[in-house]
Amino acid sequence: MEFIDHSLVKKDTVMARVYQETIVDSCREKNSLIVLPTGLGKTIIAALLTVYRLQKHDGKVIFLAPTKPLVMQHFQTFSDVLNIDKMEFFTGTVAPSTRKELYKNKKVIFATPQVIENDIISRRLDLENVSMIIFDEAHRSIGDYAYVFIAKKYMEKGKNPLIIGLTASPGSQKDKIKEVLENLFIENIEVRTDSSPDIKKYIQDIDIEWIEVDFPEEYKKIRKYLEKYLENKLKILHNIGFLRSASLGISKKDLLELGTRIRKDMNKNYGKMDKRYFIGIMAQSSAIKIQHGMELLETQGIIPFLDYFERLKHQKAKSAKEIINSELIKKALNLAKTIETRHPKYEKLREIIEKEIKRCKNIIVFSQYRDSAQKIVDILNDMEGVRAIRFVGQSSKLGDKGLTQKNQKDILEKFRNQEYNILVATSIAEEGLDIPSVDLVLFFEPVPSEIRTIQRRGRTGRRKAGKVIVLFTGKTRDEAYFWVSRAKEKKMHKILLQMKNQLKKKEYIEKQTKIEDFVKIIVDYRERSPVVKYLSSHCLVEQKNLPVGDYVLSERVCVERKSSEDFLRSLMDRKIFQQIKNISESYEIPILIIEGEDLYSQHEISANSILNAIISIILDFNVHVIFTKDPYETMLILLDIAKREQQKEKKDIPIRGNKKIMEIKENQRYIIEGLPHVSATLAERLLKHFKSVKNIFTASKEDLMKVKGIGEKTADEIIKVIEEGYE
């Protein structure tokens, strides 16, 4: 057995594999996408490229991964195999000031993309001397995901840039793959499949078995009622001109795209108040919900199906209420409640586990839905020799609490140590967690995504032969998904091989400094819109904790930005008016930007109610309202206003407004609110206690601490701000 011999690689830790060395040679000078089946050492290839780049260009290497556990996993692998002391991992929990120092002193940095994105925007991280950035799970490099922004900035600023994308699958849609390649400036593709000659000797056999179960006759009767209801909704959409046909074969994707199209048309013509749009939105929303109910019935069984409709009863949407009140749906639910037959998948699962548990040390069962995952755990734990545990994500849903990161880590550790021998997991286990290789992966249902199929399958057959079993219900959408995922995977490899020969280097010319670079905009650090990224490419962006608003453009101008969805949500809970009041009282020119083209087609709020709220904001609060179609247009407006304001008067921008007219009382409170950790309530208490601003400014630490809400630390900081010299 031969190992890599290099001063920066720990002795006898990295086996010399020809395909890995070939890929490293191909990628060390070209922006490359590496597509490699799970378990074949993408991280080791990244480590060998790191060694090469650090020796050739010195500088730093940044390794990005989408989740904290995956960041730590890569850090651990590098620590195990490389002789590099100056390595560090951090996530959002590491203080920004600490990160700034670490960037200066460390050679290899492991982080989530959101952290790096924020540090580029805030200018804590200089990309000039970064000699390589590795993008793990590179198929995410589409849309507004942080990878896209980071890659663009890196190619602008890097002295010797090199981008390496790692993935087991970039998808099967040509336009999506093309988008990934363009966003990462890819010049070279290295793709290997299970059948590639140079990796065949390292691939363990994976036995894949597809097991079909019959769809129960009793279930078919329920489905008939659902199909009749769905057909009625599709006929409505066809009759009012939104669908060419009322075929029941319409896909979920087509229905979702239809909803987007109706909403866009509605917003273009909102002045006409055409009833067709409201009828269309209701019908489309109902159709989506019923399709989901049918999928649960076909693939999961009666209990998840009934649970779903129980949740619909508690929804406020008109479409949900209409479904629950429908006679067809009532008949379907009443029939479902009389059926005791369990979905045949559960019995088949039990049968498979009974047989496989004798030879398998550990097993992963994948299920799309949390409810089904819990049911599977309950069934399996009744069996001899089975120790099953459910493994889900961190988000909590109605009546179902998610797992904390610590819970997840503990479960995986116990699974690794054989305290549990079956992990019943949702999609959380497909990507981004250090899950040990298992003897058997069982899909409770097929998934139509080839990326997810490859990721699930990659959990077995890493060090020894593995097995995959996929359960599917015949003559249902389960069977359709089975064929879709197989076709997509073949298509992906074909597209990648075609594109490999068509790639051209994407030239990136750094722009000269323009006047925009001298414009500064202060942004609230909680603002997560793509607007912030766009602004950082055109002006100085400073992130601070703003007391009001989202963007401060000058001492006169502050902007509150709301997406159309945010605006409607804050309208429903009345929070918008307090926010508008605060910005109006603080700045001479307060602005509200409402962003998005679907303002009049969401949340089933009437157009009149929306218009009345906007009129109130303009007339009652004296706030300017601007409508934009998307984040990019918002950025252009913010930039133009900031340029006009700042080029007129070269002043520093205060984070607190400069409202022209204030009563003395308001002015006094305004001054005191500027002290550290002093809220509006605390400012009121201080003024009532000391009677004047002067008395507060001359008070001793002990006197300040007599006021409720002021402890020793706050008192110290107030005195420090008042007494310390200005430099």
Give per-10-residue mean pLDDT for the chain (727 aa).
Answer: 90 93 95 89 96 93 92 94 93 80 93 94 92 97 94 94 93 88 95 84 83 95 97 95 90 89 76 76 95 95 93 88 96 95 94 94 92 93 95 80 87 93 85 75 88 77 80 89 75 78 57 57 89 89 88 93 91 88 90 88 73 93 94 94 81 59 73 81 89 92 91 89 81
**Beta strand spans in 306-416 (E):** 363-366, 388-391
CB-based contact 443:366 (threshold 8 Å): yes
- Cα separation, 359 vs 443, in Å, equals 18
Report CA 361 to chain centroid distance, whole Å: 34
Question: Within 10 A of 321 (CB to CB), how many other CB atoms are there?
Answer: 13
Task: Walk me through the domains of the chain, giving residue ranges and CATH numbers.
Answer: 18-202 (3.40.50.300), 206-213+343-475 (3.40.50.300), 217-338 (1.20.1320.20), 515-648 (3.40.50.10130), 664-723 (1.10.150.20)
Q: What is the pLDDT of residue 509?
A: 45
What is the pLDDT at residue 434?
65
Determine the residue type at 300: Q
* pLDDT score recorded for residue 419: 95
User: Quick one: which of 136, 138, 135 has its CA closest to 176?
Assistant: 138
pLDDT at 654: 61
| Residue listed under structure tokens 């307060």 | 590
The SS3 call for residue 364 is strand
Closest CA to 27 of 4, 5, 45: 45
Q: Which residues of 632-641 are buried (b: 16+ CB within 10 A; e: fewer)?
A: ebbbebbbeb
* CB neighbourhood size of 697 (10 A): 16
Token output for 23: 């890929």
Say if residue 358 is exposed, middle or buried (CB neighbours under 10 Å; 0-12, 13-18, 19+). Answer: exposed
List the one residue out of 201, 175, 184, 197 whose CA is nearest residue 27: 184
Q: Of 53, 246, 85, 288, whose CA–CA distance to 162 is shortest?
A: 53
Q: Rounded CA gap, 161 and 178, in Å?
A: 21
CB neighbours of residue 175 within 10 Å? 8
Identify which of 390, 413, 393, 416 has the alpha carbon closest to the alpha carbon of residue 403. Answer: 393
The distance from CA 155 to its chain's CA centroid, rounded to whole angstroms, is 24
| Residue 112 in tokens | 């989530």
- Cβ 402 vs Cβ 372: under 8 Å: no
Which residue shows structure tokens 């080839």?
450
- Please state the pTM of the whole predicted model: 0.75
